Amino acid sequence: MGRSSRCEKDGLRRGSWTDAEDQILLDYVREHGEGRWEKLSRETGLKRCGKSCRLRWLNYLRPDIKRGNITQEEEELIIRLHKLLGNRWSLIAGRLPGRTDNEIKNYWNSILRKKAKENQSERSRNERKTIEDLATEAAKNTEAEPDCHDGFLPNTSDSDMPRNFITDLNEGQLSISEFLHTDFTKLCELNTKIVDCTNNCRNGSLMSTPTTEAPLHLEELLNDWEAYDFYLP
């Protein structure tokens, strides 16, 4: 790694951690707890910058950490959460006990991104086929008017393809920040109101006047993720 850094300038070590360094870090955290990484670095004599200590602890030494063997269930959850949250790895990791943001980020970049791409092209093929089928159908039925309110997309019915998103603009609904901090492992305990803003949120902006409101079970939501499009600011 050819880049120079503040740590390097201060004469601190970089690169792989040794067993002895790990032990020093472990001992200190056991005694003093997590946090205050710069102080840890100074007091233990570890020639590592605070950030490096924090990273080593969080991604490797933490006792509750799971390493490797990401299960099918975890993988599906990562995909769904990524669809909702984007590259907010720490939030995604927060939903997967024992997994770190770094591990999930690496897993996504090396494995899931490819899968997602493949799925995307598969979906594109299917969508293209559907459009062609619809066009053929429309050509057959010259009486039928195309149902395009704004000339942008066909207006599908709510039951066919609800376009929902979560808003915190209305009292009593789950806020985005609350939702992001929800414990997804306990979904069955939660109910929230999903605001249906059919056809009004294509540009990704929040709506203050939802067209309808319907309580929706979060578990149902995540299990049937493909049915929903979420737009977050």
Shortest Cβ 184–DNA spacing (Å) = 16
Reported as half-sphere exposure (CB side, CA atoms, 13 A), residue 114 has a value of 4
For DNA (CB under 7 A), the number of binding residues is 43
Tell me how far apart the alpha carbons of residues 105 and 82 are, in angstroms, rounded to a whole number.
10
Q: What is the token pair recorded at 70?
A: 């990401």
Site for DNA in 104-133 (CB under 7 A): 105-107, 109-111
**Residue 71 in the binding site for DNA (CB under 7 A):** no
Site for DNA in 31-60 (CB under 7 A): 35-39, 48, 50-52, 54-56, 59-60
Q: What are the beta bridge partners of residue 212? A: 196
Q: Applying CB under 7 A, which of residues 89, 165, 228, 230 lies at the interface with DNA?
A: 89
**Residue 6 in the binding site for DNA (CB under 7 A):** yes
Across 12-114, the runs of DSSP E, i.e. the strands, are none
Tell me how far apart the alpha carbons of residues 200 and 205 are, in angstroms, rounded to a whole number.
9
Shortest Cβ 148–DNA spacing (Å) = 35
Sole window of 11-19, 125-133, 135-143, 200-208 interacting with DNA (rule: CB under 7 A):
11-19
**Residue 209 in the binding site for DNA (CB under 7 A):** no
> Residue 183, SS3?
coil
Tell me how far apart the alpha carbons of residues 112 and 89 are, in angstroms, rounded to a whole number.
13
Binding positions for DNA, rule: CB under 7 A:
1-8, 13-17, 35-39, 48, 50-52, 54-56, 59-60, 67-68, 87-91, 101-103, 105-107, 109-111
